[in-house]
């Protein structure tokens, strides 16, 4: 059987994209006056015990440019003490007299931080693609598993993402244990998105009435492939308005699954998988923290840093015509 030739793509903006890639790995960090002023915590709590020396901006900021400890540790794959030495030497070179938090302070305060995702605001409704992926906490390498099988001490955390189909930015992110279904997390994901939504695309894991109702409440179109055993709940003679899931089932039966996916731009959902591939390629796909709360913040910091990298520049590619 003859296989189809793979499509080839070329990048139009190599100069701009190359400069953005260089900027991602630059060791020059700009620290604003606001960050310098707020690096130390001057506020007194009035309670027993000493006040925190470092402010929440120092440990860590969601801004990649601020070069704060948690983000630097993930971006450059450094251990705790190595991150201390890295930032200390960096501040000396920059001529900034600031004390760098030790790794134990970072671990102790990491779980209490609220991380926001930097997103370029939009005035128009967006197309959101949702999916989830597993991130390894501990376990054997791929060679050992393939040769001897997986051991008992192998576990994962689940990262749920909602991405902008147009820009590739991560708009919403949640971290759960690996026993939480995708459909359970969708309402919490959409609560993080303030921008009007035109369409939400997800795989079959979101094919529940709860997900459809959540999407409908946002006045958005739900593009979720119905499972093969799906049945229409509200028939044509019903006095109630047709349910969006039933409409998808009817259309799939009329034109087939392949054409329905083309009509509804379902294939754009794969861009959420592209975002996950970027995240794992850049940050390694493995967590360093021991406790779940710290692991969640670590992943959210990686999502924030990835958004900053995307905002620096993306490739503008086009399909090569034979």
Q: Please say if the pLDDT value at position 222 is more than 90.
A: yes
* Lowest-confidence pick of 62-66, 154-158, 163-167, 316-320: 62-66
Dihedral of CA 190/24/57/297: which sign?
Answer: positive
Q: Please say if the pLDDT value at position 60 is more than 60.
A: no
pLDDT of residue 51: 47
Q: Please say if the pLDDT value at position 299 is more than 70.
A: yes
Q: Please say if the pLDDT value at position 67 is more than 60.
A: no
Largest CA distance in the chain: 77
What residues have CB less than 8 Å from 209, skipping those under 6 apart? 233, 243, 245
Task: Place 21 in a pLDDT band, splitting at 50, 70 and 90.
Answer: confident
In a domain, 192, yes or no: yes
Q: Are residues 145 and 269 in the same domain?
A: yes
pLDDT of residue 41: 53
**Dihedral, CA of residue 69, residue 75, residue 77 and residue 80, to nearest 10:** 10
- Percent of the chain at pLDDT exceeding 90: 33
Asked which of 245, 273, 301 is the last residue of a domain, the reply is 273
Q: Please say if the pLDDT value at position 105 is more than 80.
A: no
Determine the length of the chain.
322
Q: Are residues 153 and 250 in the same domain?
A: yes
* Lowest-confidence pick of 46-55, 100-109, 115-124, 312-321: 46-55
238-255: average pLDDT: 85
46-75: average pLDDT: 55
Under 8 Å between Cβ of 170 and 117? yes
Q: Are residues 210 and 265 in the same domain?
A: yes
> pTM (2 decimals)?
0.81
Task: Place 154 in a pLDDT band, splitting at 50, 70 and 90.
Answer: low
Range of the domain at 36: 9-112
Q: Please say if the pLDDT value at position 267 is more than 50.
A: yes
Q: Are residues 89 and 147 in the same domain?
A: no
Q: Are residues 101 and 158 in the same domain?
A: no
Q: Are residues 73 and 131 in the same domain?
A: no
């Amino acid at each position: 059987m003859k296989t189809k030739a793979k499509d080839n793509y070329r990048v139009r903006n190599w100069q701009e994209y190359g400069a953005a890639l260089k900027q991602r790995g630059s060791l020059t960090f700009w620290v604003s006056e606001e960050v310098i002023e707020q690096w130390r915590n001057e506020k007194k709590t009035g309670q027993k015990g000493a006040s925190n020396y470092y402010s929440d901006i120092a440990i860590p900021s969601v801004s990649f440019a601020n070069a704060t400890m948690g983000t630097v540790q993930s971006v450059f794959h450094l251990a705790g003490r190595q991150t201390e030495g890295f930032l200390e030497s960096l501040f000396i070179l920059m001529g900034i007299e600031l004390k760098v938090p030790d790794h134990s302070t970072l671990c102790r305060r990491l779980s209490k931080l609220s991380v926001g995702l930097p997103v370029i605001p939009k005035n128009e409704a967006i197309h959101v693609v949702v999916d989830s992926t597993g991130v390894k906490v501990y376990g054997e390498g791929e060679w050992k598993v393939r040769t001897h099988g997986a051991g008992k001490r192998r576990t994962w955390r689940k990262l749920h993402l909602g991405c902008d189909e147009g820009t590739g930015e991560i708009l919403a992110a949640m971290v759960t244990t690996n026993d939480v279904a995708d459909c359970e997390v969708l309402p919490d994901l959409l609560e993080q998105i303030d921008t009007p939504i035109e369409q939400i695309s997800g795989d079959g894991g979101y094919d529940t009435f709860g997900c459809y109702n959540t999407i409908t409440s946002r006045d958005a179109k739900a593009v979720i492939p119905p499972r093969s055993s799906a049945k229409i709940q509200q028939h044509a003679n019903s006095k109630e308005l047709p349910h969006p899931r039933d409409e998808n089932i009817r259309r799939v039966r009329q034109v087939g699954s392949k054409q329905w996916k083309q009509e509804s731009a379902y294939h754009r959902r794969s861009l959420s998988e592209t975002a996950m591939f970027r995240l794992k390629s850049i940050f390694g796909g493995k967590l360093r923290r021991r406790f779940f709360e710290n692991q969640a913040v670590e992943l959210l910091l990686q999502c924030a840093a990835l958004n900053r990298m995307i905002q620096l520049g993306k490739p503008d590619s086009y399909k090569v015509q034979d």
